[in-house]
Structure 1
């Protein structure tokens, strides 16, 4: 079977589907969007169900275990550290992503892989990182089985992005991302099926950070967890 990637498209131009992504939903409670609130919620998780688990497969690529770090920087307003991938990468090039990558045989577990990849990609030192939990595995259409590792990050670090993998590193307030009023649901038909995803566009000064696809899907799951 040959690989069947979707045609190239600008996700910003794909229509928003009818019905707001926030219908009947409220922002995650502010008390949970603090370091102590997050620690408590992960230490004593509620019964909940992730909204998004597996994207429609569109490649015959062999499945690969991967891990990403959701680094929440402890500023006056918790903020999520994100990267913009370089345009020449073989998968998800140019997209906004969490730092992370494949789990190597030398990695003790997904958490170790996420910390290693975050340091390799951005220079984020593990000494500034406090892992507080993980989210359910998320499977991309490109057959990456991703474990999202959630962590608090102590300020005072200096980043050194790897230019071969990362074009930019920036932060987005967590309360913005955890408010479904800022979530949009898109879809277009490809291969006789409707392919859908979320986006969470964030205006960062003069720059629009268009967060979408798997990154937005895992953030939607974090919202569901923190709202449960």
Structure 2
């Protein structure tokens, strides 16, 4: 599949057949967490603009006690009691955070749930946005909404893999960093999920 010719019907079919395969879970050391993970979900929004396909991201607002403050992310958050499933949670969070009307969103499928270093079990929900749509970010949670072209993200020259040590003596975990795009730094779980999706649908050669 060419990175310039995304076919959302094909993506939906691939996710139904193989979405449970990626991303691979991080092998955290025994005893690293002292509680079960909290369920959460994020929306990975794809849309077609005049210059081709893009992926929508947010930059989180700055909060002193938020360990992910100011980072690039996907819209999303913890599952609430009102959410019937991960899809509902991702759509609700996207509406709350950036004003994305669920009526303009078509769910394509899921990637495999991923346990984060902050002890969330995140289900990545892949979707297509019927672009253009009005977006109204909640300034309490989001400082910026922006997008990056799929063609740029799918170029292996634009990201690199490094290793992070969790604690002294622990084995390292893989961390992906993209080059800055318009000043924004895409890394961590958001970069991991982006690369995992592109690997799964054949846009990017797997780099381990």
Task: Pick the TM interval, shorter chain.
Answer: 0.7 to 0.9
CA contact (8 A) 1:122 1:159 kept: yes
Moved over 4 A (4+): none
1-side partners of 2:80 and 2:163: how far apart? 34
> What pairs up with 1:1-228 in 2 under 5 angstroms?
29-30=2-3, 33-42=6-15, 45-46=17-18, 49-54=21-26, 56=28, 60=34, 62-76=36-50, 77-88=52-63, 90-189=66-165, 190-193=167-170, 194-204=172-182, 207=183, 209-227=184-202
Describe the superposition over 1:65-107 as per-residue Cα deviations: whole angstroms up to 9, x where unpaired: 0000001112241111100011205231111000000011110
Deviation at 1:42, TM superposition (A): 3.4
Number of the residue aligned with 1:25: none
**Post-superposition offset of 1:191:** 1.7
Give 1:62 deviation, angstroms. 4.7
User: Is the contact made by 1:61 and 1:142 (CA closer than 8 Å) also made in structure 2?
Assistant: no
Indicate the SS of the match to 1:219: helix
CA distance in 1, matches of 2:71, 2:142: 10
Q: Is the alpha carbon distance of 1:108 and 1:137 closer, same or farther for their aligned partners in structure 2, counting shifts above 3 Å?
A: same
Report the TM-score, using the length of structure 1 for normalisation. Answer: 0.77
Q: CA deviation at 1:223?
A: 1.9
**Structure 1 pair 165/173, CA: closer, same or farther in 2 (3 Å)?**
same
Aligned length in residues: 197
SS of residue paired to 1:79: strand
Gaps of 5+ in 1: 1-27
Tell me the TM-score normalised to structure 2 length: 0.84
Q: Distance in 2 between matches of 1:85 and 1:216?
A: 15
Gaps of 5+ in 2: 204-208
Residue 48 of structure 1 and its aligned partner are, at CA, apart by 8.1
